[in-house]
Structure 1
Amino acid sequence: MRPHILVVEDDAVTREKLVGYFEREGYRVSAAGDGREMRALMVRESVSLIMLDINLPGEDGLLLTRELRAQSRVGIILVTGRSDAVDRIVGLEMGADDYVTKPFELRELLVRVKNLLWRISLAGNQPQDEGDDAVRFGPWRFDIPRRQLSKDGVPVRLTKAEYELLVAFVAHPGRVLSRERILSLISHRGDGPSDRTIDVLIRRLRGKMEPDPRDPQLFVTVHGEGYLFAAELQP
């Protein structure tokens, strides 16, 4: 079944542009102009991902994000203005998965949509044991849908970028991932994303998860190629 994308945007030109582009890319796409139309459509149909404009009439995108996240695990990408830095932070804290700033490149938005749908699919396909859909390796438990990591029951806090990086590794255990490949798998984008971005994130994960970060056993450097996630996932 094709993923169903819902575009919630009050500007008719932008709305039709997004609908047309993603339909041409093979997605099933619906559109709504405000929160009321969004709710009505979601009652009738199942939605995989929502592109949600922050500046909507009446209820804004931040309020709708909080409502959506309280009720479902649907993917949420916020569409914001360049001056809305505070709104972007608040939106992520309320449960949005990603954001894109206006004016945006449609190709960039497509990549973000593909990555988010991939992560949603990965979370939904994890083996379940009595309702537990977490991934386990060694003393670690990684609950992807709830974004929770713990070691022997003790929670370990991850930033959004660290969480996405760990999801990418868990999806490719025992495989060497180049820095370029890793960058394509995560939605985190700093100023001037580069190989250095990945090296910094790897170092942070090692500091949180390796017994001895100087002798990593989980996140192994493969010189000249990239990084390998060496953990053995438990069935």
Structure 2
Amino acid sequence: MKRSVMLVDDDQKLRLLLKTYLEKNQFSVRLSHDGASFQLDFEKFQHEIGLVILDVMLPDTDGFTLCRWVRKISNIPVIMLTASADDTDRIVGLELGADDYIGKPYNPRELLARIKAIQRRSGVLSHTDAGVPRYWRFEGWTLDVTERRLSNPEGCDVPLTGMDFNLLKIFLDNPGEVMDRSRLMEATRGRDLGPLDRSLDVQISRLRQRLQDDGKQAAMIKTVRGSGYAFTAQVQCSPE
């Protein structure tokens, strides 16, 4: 993952403080103060950006609109910043494709930890690595872990966010195994699942939609009541 971050926040003091902090930790940082400047810079420098940090409240638009726009053209990881104590903002952000969220005010060290966690989860394996299968196939679907690309049974690409990819890869690594919610949360977000945290449910629902498995009786990602989730499709992997 590229060590370049784009931060979108209208608070100038916060922008500059965070830029200084992240640069001390070997990140390069691009700053935007509103949605319009962010969209112009993102289109220009998209190939250099490894992660986007979006504030929900901006003077000319909102972070949700920008997150939706990013997801139409890119799978670059997105972290949302919200000052709301209500879970609604967080759930909406996840539904739109955000990879993580953090509440304001926040400790820069916590944000750095979240960025690094996404980096660890988003590390792309090279298909030239010995013993590492590149293609994972199930029910006519194919996941290319090198390109991080999912193809449906008709051969069409299905867009995945970084969190979608991480969650699907965990299921493919453990077919038939009941994965409890805490284990899935730790593996995908690097932290424990709070008692009222619905983010994992949102993520599971979104992945089911990607896999066209979101009917009343999900066929691939099964809910195991009181235990967690299990991926029940047969999985095959190969280097080519």
- Please give the TM-score of this superposition, normalised by the length of structure 1: 0.63
Cα–Cα, structure 1 residues 15 and 107, in superposed 2: closer, same or farther, change >3 Å?
same
User: Which position in structure 1 is the counterpart of 2:83?
Assistant: 81
User: Which position in structure 2 is the counterpart of 1:8?
Assistant: 8
Aligned length, in residue pairs: 191
Tell me the distance in 2 between the aligned counterparts of 1:111 and 1:192.
22
Structure 1 residues not aligned, in runs of 5+: 128-132, 154-159, 173-179, 212-230
Cα–Cα, structure 1 residues 118 and 140, in superposed 2: closer, same or farther, change >3 Å?
farther
User: Which position in structure 2 is the counterpart of 1:101?
Assistant: 103
Q: Percent of aligned pairs with the same residue?
A: 29
User: Which position in structure 2 is the counterpart of 1:17?
Assistant: 17
Cα–Cα, structure 1 residues 72 and 121, in superposed 2: closer, same or farther, change >3 Å?
same
Q: What's the secondary structure of 1:74's corresponding residue?
A: coil
User: Which position in structure 2 is the counterpart of 1:223?
Assistant: none
- CA shift at 1:162, angstroms? 8.8
Tell me the distance in 2 between the aligned counterparts of 1:82 and 1:64.
18
Q: For residues 7-156 of structure 1, what are the structure 2 equivalents within 5 Å?
A: 7-45=7-45, 46-122=48-124, 125=126, 135-136=135-136, 141=141, 143=143, 145=148
Structure with more contact order per residue of length (Cα contacts < 8 Å, sep ≥ 6): 2
Q: What's the secondary structure of 2:238's corresponding residue?
A: coil
Q: What's the secondary structure of 2:228's corresponding residue?
A: helix
Cα–Cα, structure 1 residues 192 and 109, in superposed 2: closer, same or farther, change >3 Å?
farther
Letter paired with 1:26: Q
- Please give the TM-score of this superposition, normalised by the length of structure 2: 0.62
After TM superposition, where is structure 1 displaced by more than 4 Å over at least 4 residues in a row? 124-127, 137-142, 144-148, 160-163, 168-172, 180-185
In 2, are the aligned partners of 1:80 and 1:102 still within 8 Å (CA)? yes
Q: 1:89-138 deviations in whole A, cap 9, x for unaligned?
A: 1111111111111122322222221222334332x7568xxxxx974167
In 2, are the aligned partners of 1:162 and 1:205 still within 8 Å (CA)? no
Tell me the distance in 1 between the aligned counterparts of 2:163 and 2:3.
24
The Cα RMSD (Å) is: 4.1
